[in-house]
Chains A and B, each alone.
Chain A
């Protein structure tokens, strides 16, 4: 529908990842600490439980204010302005819809099915509104972001894309990634100026090939293990005695669990490697106001290692190390994100004026739908 006009080819970034010239790129940093966030985190969960979930909206505000407020570019932090009630109303609407949908599905299945079809048409609109809300409640140096994407673009980027990727077993996933990054990147505004992005499909496919290789290799290993065990099962069938049966049961159960975990981790690692690579390609192909370049130079290996070790440490400590993990990831991602300003930074950053329509508009806005809920 309303996908933005393709950009001229000169903006397609050929970023040399990992070896960017630091002289002219201004990197983001993260000034938060794990111990500080730990307090915010535990109070968030405690109050959410005590208030039967109502506080969760305010918890989200405090969490986001902490992470945005510690994301620093050129000595100044970002800020998150959403109010708890804006998020609470959005959540209540989603919750009421779910209740209605389930009741209808029980009583009048036809109406329930109609509701889910209706939702399919509504989701793109909700996603576009959710992105707009998130952009409008974010500011940097007293100027807010804005998002002007429409439902049609969200439908292509977040419904057609993933469905196409799933139907083709991930072979067309790079197209879906490109669409979603273009939808977000070309509709984001800061002040009265626009961001623009045009990640090249070829570069995304190069990243995709690595992930595909990881999945193929992983499945070869799993297949090898299964083949080994089928020999074990065959011997058991030849001389069935009860004790061995029980033993085999136990080892089979263990095997099923192991296989499940193994397959999940293969897909997890491949997904993380892909995500980091695509972020590099897309961010590095993004410009602001037509002349300032963005850059992302995550190391795919390091990003995956941080995500996986974060997950394991969080699990082993029963969640207690989650604040440390979240801060660690935020720090790494911020330090590998940068902007290069074309011209005098001071002049550029003092000449940005807020867009009239975006100021105050968010007071009427509620968060309809966000990816986390």
Chain B
């Protein structure tokens, strides 16, 4: 044995690019690291700055690469760590030290859950708000134009409404848009034959409103009711619900994607489905917001704010819809919604109650 002190660690040495290996030991010799075989002959060596020591992960073998491309591999991780600590390179293994099985991991789990919840509850909505704020107005315009074009070509048809009826609806519509923040210029009302979409009204993000003949039929002579429904749709536009929905979905998908490798494919699918359910609950709260908007707008315009509630009553009667809210529905249950609207009206009429 040579007289240069004890070995730091024992392991295997490979020449550059070869699978051939020799049992060897690692030692320090005059300020440089060297690998020596069982006879004491030096196989490779280099100064500490010229060799590369792989970072520690669990108990997997440690690799030390020398300038000549040869490799020393050892399972004695602790010995290498002690050697590095003695050389003042202790900060190298910081991540590994965090990962060690230790009661402190409980705190990490708690921190992870807390941070995850905070991101979902605070950071994500905040990011969505920022994204909505910086979205130039041209984006919703282009989105809406292409959506309307697509719908016209696939689902909707020419409206068959007579002029008088159209005029009455447009009058009411003008009264409410005059009170809304977008003003008359911000909204256009389009009449279409619903076909597959049936009695319906919807708003595109740039303030294009679409009203189907079937809904007008359903309302009969109650024009105010239709105006109430339109006010509800204006609420969706003013609160930018559709943009928010898009950004939220993108944010949730990105969050799931980033930790995908660490949770396994099955759990990832469950998270994606769960995200879908959560976005439904978001759209329910959006509906409630739009209902409230309808009530306020109708009051300001001096129209009957219960109009939208009457519409739900009608839906219930005509379509026999007694559905209760569940987490699987996009719209709040009809009876529940009617009650909420009546409460809102009472609250707005006597605010000092």
Residue-wise, chain A 49-82 has the 8 Å CB interface mask toward B (1 for contact) of 1100100100110110110111000001101000
* Residue interface mask A302-338, B partner, CB < 8 A = 1: 0000010011001100011010011000000000000
Known: A246-B322, A350-B19. A314 touches B101 (CB 8 A): no
What are the nearest 5 A-B pairs in CB distance? A69-B60, A354-B17, A39-B99, A142-B14, A352-B19
A46 and B115 within 8 A (CB): yes
Are B264 and A314 in contact (CB-based, < 8 A)?
A: yes
Interface residues of B in 77-114 (CB under 8 A from A): 95, 98-102, 105, 108-109, 111-112
Instruction: Give the complex CA separation of A69 and B21 in angstroms.
Output: 18
Known contacts: A42-B108, A245-B322. The answer to whether A322 contacts B18 by CB under 8 A is no
B50 at the interface (CB under 8 A from A): no
B285: Cβ under 8 A from any A Cβ: no
Q: Is A38 a contact partner of B101 (Cβ separation < 8 A)?
A: yes
Within the complex, what minimum Cβ distance (angstroms) separates B254 from chain A? 7
Known A42-B109, A249-B322, A322-B262: A359·B57 in contact at CB below 8 Å: no
Decide: B71 and A322 in contact? CB cutoff 8 A. Answer: no
Question: B121 at interface (Cβ–Cβ under 8 A)?
Answer: no
User: Which of B138-146, B154-162, B170-178, B306-314 contacts the other chain?
Assistant: B138-146
Minimum CB–CB distance from A129 to chain B (whole Å) comes to 19
A49 touches B119 (CB 8 A): yes
B18 near A142 with CB under 8 A, answer yes
For B260, list chain A residues within 8 Å (CB). 372-373
Q: Is B257 close to A, CB under 8 A?
A: yes
Q: Does B232 contact A (CB under 8 A)?
A: no
| Subset of 5 A-B contacts with CB under 8 Å | A36-B59, A39-B102, A65-B60, A69-B60, A350-B21
> B264 contacts A310, CB within 8 Å?
yes
Compute how far the CA of A102 lies from the CA of B254 in the bound complex, rounded to whole angstroms.
14
Contact call B108/A62, Cβ cutoff below 8 A? no
User: Which one of B29-37, B222-230, B323-331 is at the A interface?
Assistant: B323-331
Are A353 and B105 in contact, CB atoms less than 8 angstroms apart?
Answer: no
Q: Please name the residue on chain A nearest to B271 by beta carbon.
A: A319
Scoring A46, A320, A326 by chain B CB atoms within 10 A of each residue's CB, the highest score goes to A46
Instruction: Answer whether residue B346 sits at the interface, using C-beta atoms and an 8 A cutoff.
Output: no
Query: B133 at the A/B interface (Cβ < 8 Å)?
Result: no
B266 within 8 A of A: yes
- By a CB distance below 8 angstroms, the chain A residues around B254 are 53
* B-chain residues with CB within 8 Å of residue A39 when the two chains form the complex: 98-102, 105
Give the contacts of A1-51 with B (CB-CB under 8 A): 31-32, 35-50
Closest to B95 in A: A43
B259 within 8 A of A: yes
Q: Does A344 contact B (CB under 8 A)?
A: no
CA distance A50 to B123 in the complex (A): 12
| A141 interface contact, C-beta 8 A | yes
The answer to whether B266 and A49 have CB atoms under 8 Å apart is no
Tell whether, in the assembled complex, residue B21 and residue A141 are in contact, meaning their CB atoms are under 8 Å apart: yes
Interface presence of A256 (CB below 8 A): yes
Q: CB-nearest residue of chain A relative to B61?
A: A77
Question: Size of chain A's interface in residues, with CB distance under 8 A?
Answer: 69
Interfacial chain A residues near B324, Cβ < 8 Å: 246, 249-250
Please, what's the 1-or-0 string for B236-266, where 1 marks a CB less than 8 Å from any CB in chain A? 0000000000000010001001111111101
CB distance from B117 to the nearest CB of A (A): 11
Whether A319 pairs with B263 at a CB distance below 8 angstroms is yes
A224 within 8 A of B: no
| B19 close to A314 (CB less than 8 A) | no
Flag A137-167 by CB within 8 Å of B: 1 or 0 each: 0001111000000000000000000000000
Q: CA of A60 to CA of B109 in the docked complex: distance in angstroms?
A: 19
Is A191 part of the binding interface, using a Cβ–Cβ cutoff of 8 Å?
A: yes
Report if B270 contacts A (CB, 8 A). yes
On whether A65 and B267 interact (CB within 8 A), knowing A45-B259, A359-B17, A372-B261, the answer reads: no
Q: Once the chains bind, are B61 and A353 in contact (CB under 8 Å)? A: no
Cβ of A253 under 8 Å from chain B: yes
Closest to A58 in B: B95
Q: A39-B98, A350-B21 are in contact. List 13 more A-B contacts (CB 8 A).
A: A36-B58, A40-B58, A66-B58, A79-B61, A106-B142, A107-B142, A245-B322, A246-B324, A249-B324, A314-B266, A349-B19, A359-B17, A373-B260
Q: Which residues of chain A from 263 to 295 have any CB-CB distance to chain B below 8 Å in the complex?
A: 268
User: Cβ of A59 and Cβ of B267 under 8 Å apart?
Assistant: no
B183: Cβ under 8 A from any A Cβ: no
Given A70-B60, A141-B14, A142-B21, A311 and B267 touching (CB < 8 A)?
yes
B6 at the interface (CB under 8 A from A): no
Judged by a CB distance under 8 angstroms, whether B63 is at the interface is: yes
- Asked whether B99 lies within 8 Å of A40 as measured between CB atoms, the reply is yes
Contact B266 A56 (CB under 8 A): no
Interface string of A358-373 (1 = CB under 8 A from B): 0100000000000011
Q: Chain B residue with minimal CB distance to A36?
A: B58
B262 touches A45 (CB 8 A): yes
Contact with A along B202-244 (1 / 0, CB 8 A): 0000000000000000000000000000000000000000000
